[in-house]
Chains A and B, each alone.
Chain A
Amino acid sequence: MSKINESMSLANPAPPFLDMQQKLASALGAIGLLILLIALGGYRFANPMYGLMASLGLICVGTVWFSIRAYLTKSAGIKNDGVYFSAISYRGLAAWIAGIVITGFYILLYWFPQVLGQVEGANRGLVGLFDPLSFAIKGSAASQWFVYGVLYTVAILAFGIKFILKYRHNKYQVVRTISVMFFQLGFAFLIPEFLQALHKPYYNFANMWPLNYYFFDGYNMDSYTGGTNFGLLMILWGLAMVFIISPILTYFYGKRWYCSWVCGCGGLAETAGDPFRQLSDKSIKAWNIERWMIHGVLLFSFVMTAGVLSTYFSSEPNAWISKNGFLLIMTAIVGVIILFTLWKKEEISQSGKNVPWYIIGASLGVFSLVLIAHFSGYFLLNAGALRKWYGFFIGSAFSGVVGVGFYPLMGSRVWCRFGCPMAAILGLQQKFFSRFRITTNGGQCISCGNCSTYCEMGIDVRAYAQKGQNIVRASCVGCGVCSAVCPRGVLRLEGGSADLSAKTAELKTIHITEDQIKILS
């Protein structure tokens, strides 16, 4: 027998998928990027506003035109032809170049903003190019974060339109994508910028702790509580998001209400990241790494936040709650976590015999640190350093550089799957305290593997579907693509309270029941 190429494509690995218009559209987009590059190189446009608008306009027009040719010329349906023959979507040269460029951009953004033109006094370079827009929106000069916000939003909008065209037959995908575009443009970009224009603190109402890890930082709380009722409202809203709104929504809809409908990281992954979703690792080994890593980050964020808050409330006698109040709240939170874990002990131990004890041990550990700090005035770990390292490793390196920079190599949800503490919390709620699950359709599964291949979270969906078992996984962000690509109509995202305790039960796809066997034998 002859050897089989991994992609099975011996002869025709790159069929002519691009027509002339698509090439022109790509060229327009490339010119748009080139303008940014020219600005980065230090060239000063006579009218930077025109330069910027030309650049962003060309990028948008190029992306949308390309997508119209790619999808509207064909009948509506699943459009994965050639995904594994294409260099950009299957780790070819183009993917490596894209990965390196994006990674490089993030490194400059976080640690070398001066290279982007962010300097004292008048901005230069790329940041300078964005100054007129920044003045128009909020009356002050741009920063590297403004540049980032604009580009991020443009990416979600332009590639969001692409995604909608690609999935125009699937109303769930269309509605969901409009939602992420709306939340990015409105909540993540315009509202915070307008707030700043009104001299209010920067605040994204759709972002919450622990993804928003600076929420509880002293300077941030000071800025909120600095005398205005509006700032206090922000704090209360942030706490309500964490403790009330998100648990309720997650109970009814699963974590998808956030991860694939609202969140900006999710929004970018679902739109600009869509061509890379199949690159996520589906192996059991990757799943094991994922579980340790994401919950490790969650613990890190707990310890860090507890440290920051302990220090803050110890040193600020006039803070908006007292030191004792803080201890009381922490006792309540830790108590609820421990009681919940004991209540759901059986269910939780299905994920690993010792998992309930890990949760209880970690909670008590964090609590002891808080307790000691309360009485001694010292947080045993250096809270300031913890915060700094968290910001460096998790906030910048993981979520930004690796999270987006590695899209073309490791898939679009590396951060969401391995690193995001928000996803970890929502995932635990989804797994143990939610109506959400993906149901399978009786015996229709043919084990083809489309669902697993296109799962951006690396879930081996097929392993459940072919057994007729519901998919209840902490990591599932409910994007619905498994259901969309299934050729046999097997998967459905669903919520229900009738069988909450049995939602993970193993079902049989086959018409043999244990009863029948007993009768016959």
Chain B
Amino acid sequence: MHIAIIGNGISGVTAARWLRKLSDHKITLISSESKYFYSRTALMYIYMGHMRQKDTQPYEQEFWAKNRIDLVHDHVNKIDFDQKELHFKEAVMSYDKLILALGSKSNKFGWPGQDLEGVGGLYHLQDLENMERYSKNLSRAVIVGGGLIGIEMAEMFVSRNIPVTMLVREESYWNNVLPSEESSMISKHIKHHGIDLKLASNLDQIIDDGTGKAVAVLVKETGEKIDCGYVGLTAGVSPNVGFLANTGIDIGRGIKVNQYLETSIPDVYAIGDCAEQQTPMPGRRAVEAIWYTGRMMGETVAYNICDQKIAYDPGIWFNSAKFLDIEYQVYGTVLAKPPTNHASIYWEDKQGEKSIRLVYDVNSKEILGFNLMGIRYRHEVCEQWLREKTNIESVLQSLSLANFDPEFYKMYESELIQQYNKQTGKNIQSKSTRSWNLVHQFLKG
């Protein structure tokens, strides 16, 4: 059987690796972006000079031949689902099963000037080249959109001493996701790095210099004109499914898939950023453009193709990011605008660069989520508490188990316990310390 995979990002590559582990099928991995798999999340580090492009490739080049995964560095122009054929510029390839791992594209909301030269997102290698091209003697970059990619792009320009303005729709950075304290902490941190953070500001239009290149932007709210040599569009991403329109495959925002990641066409699967779950798991979104969900879908689809049917289950929500110098981790449900039954215990250090938030249900007292800034928590431990709906007080008593910071770091778990005691008038005491043996004991039950 020949399995063709379009897209060699984390989803497609994981699918290929697991197909090889589970079967002897012929596997072809196709990408027009880059012959070899590289970690998209590391694009920023190439620009900042922390790594070379080849350092972002998780597997050595011999890996693919050794595992009999054929690489095709070419663009699929058209898919013929009836004949089961992929059409390239000069070649046609037939397949028995097809996995679509097409990834995302940067959102553009119809702004005037959005397709000018010197305007771009941050998703592909080609986006990085584009940023490089305009970086020389760049007087200012304007970044439109304040999500995770926007802050990365800002950090990139700052690393080259290029002045940056960020236009952010919200009145505080990422406050549609982060609770207000964390959001304001990050907003302050961004300004502290010399970034001109303009909150509650939308892009009106990008101005052309007359030769088709961007020279300035207009802010909608104030009408202010900001001169710049580059405009970064980082207002989120959406499934890269444009070329599948009118091919017969069922498309909503992304390619619609059932829990087995099967599309509306037999023998065609979709995974990763481009897939849209018809019935997402409770509390999860239908399209999730996240590294680890891509990896999970890649593994799941391989099992399904190898006749070991298994439903896609991303498990308990978690994520992480880094805002300039502040690391961020989240486990479970931490809402920006919590319903009335969600209570928080929140601690923040004096410098405003570290915080811990535990969210629990006021009625059942069960733990709902962990939100961390500048502090690392252990995934497995948090997940076990969340899965077992552990009582907040027993979580607090053994909270040190979750601490994943390096040795000698100050631990703040007792501050959380104090907070809780203050809020509730109780007298909870810490009953655990941080040690691998205790963690191991806890996880193995």
Stretch at the interface among A77-85, A118-126, A351-359, A380-388: A77-85
Known: A453-B55, A484-B406, A496-B436. A80 touches B132 (CB 8 A): no
Known: A11-B136, A170-B406. A496 touches B435 (CB 8 A): yes
Stretch at the interface among B97-105, B271-279, B323-331: B323-331
Tell me if A204 counts as interface (CB < 8 A to partner B): no
Tell me if B238 counts as interface (CB < 8 A to partner A): no
Mark out the residues of chain B between 92 and 131 whose CB falls within 8 Å of any chain A CB in the assembled complex: 125-126, 128-129
Known: A171-B408, A510-B299. A6 touches B54 (CB 8 A): yes
- The answer to whether A81 touches B315, judged by C-beta atoms less than 8 angstroms apart, is no
A80 to chain B, nearest CB (A): 4
Closest B residue, CB atoms, query A81: B159
Q: How far is the CA of A420 from the CA of B321 in the complex (A)?
A: 39
Q: How far is the CA of A81 from the CA of B46 in the complex (A)?
A: 10
Known: A441-B378, A449-B55, A510-B299. A516 touches B128 (CB 8 A): no
Closest A residue, CB atoms, query B33: A1
Q: Cβ of B39: which chain A residues have Cβ within 8 Å of it?
A: 446-449
Number of interface residues of B (CB under 8 A): 76
Q: How far is the CA of A496 from the CA of B308 in the complex (A)?
A: 37
- Number of A-B pairs, beta carbon distance below 8 Å: 198
- The answer to whether B310 touches A512, judged by C-beta atoms less than 8 angstroms apart, is yes
Known: A80-B50, A81-B49. A12 touches B404 (CB 8 A): no
Stretch at the interface among A207-215, A402-410, A487-495: A487-495
Query: In this complex, which of A7, A8, A492, A494 has the most chain B Cβ atoms within 10 angstroms of its Cβ?
Result: A8
Q: Cβ of A82: which chain B residues have Cβ within 8 Å of it?
A: 48-49, 159
Q: How far is the CA of A452 from the CA of B58 in the complex (A)?
A: 10
- The answer to whether B379 touches A442, judged by C-beta atoms less than 8 angstroms apart, is yes
Known: A8-B128, A520-B310. A512 touches B299 (CB 8 A): yes
Q: How far is the CA of A25 from the CA of B161 in the complex (A)?
A: 21
- The answer to whether A10 touches B132, judged by C-beta atoms less than 8 angstroms apart, is yes
Q: Cβ of B135: which chain A residues have Cβ within 8 Å of it?
A: 11-12
Q: Cβ of B311: which chain A residues have Cβ within 8 Å of it?
A: 520
Q: Which of B10, B161, B327, B409 contacts A487 (CB 8 A)?
A: B327
Q: How far is the CA of A81 from the CA of B309 in the complex (A)?
A: 46
Q: How far is the CA of A10 from the CA of B130 in the complex (A)?
A: 10
- The answer to whether A489 touches B58, judged by C-beta atoms less than 8 angstroms apart, is no
Q: Cβ of B407: which chain A residues have Cβ within 8 Å of it?
A: 171-172, 480, 493
Known: A492-B404, A493-B407. A441 touches B47 (CB 8 A): no
Q: How far is the CA of A450 from the CA of B441 in the complex (A)?
A: 31
Q: Could you give, for residues 288-329 of chain B, a 1 whenever the CB lies within 8 Å of some chain A CB and a 0 otherwise?
A: 000110011001100100011111011100101110110101
- The answer to whether A498 touches B132, judged by C-beta atoms less than 8 angstroms apart, is no
Q: Could you give, for residues 174-199 of chain A, a 1 whenever the CB lies within 8 Å of some chain B CB and a 0 otherwise?
A: 11000000000000000000000000
Tell me if B160 counts as interface (CB < 8 A to partner A): yes
Closest B residue, CB atoms, query A83: B49
Given contacts A11-B132, A448-B39, 11 further A-B contacts (CB under 8 A): A10-B133, A75-B192, A80-B50, A83-B50, A171-B408, A172-B407, A447-B10, A452-B55, A492-B406, A496-B440, A520-B308
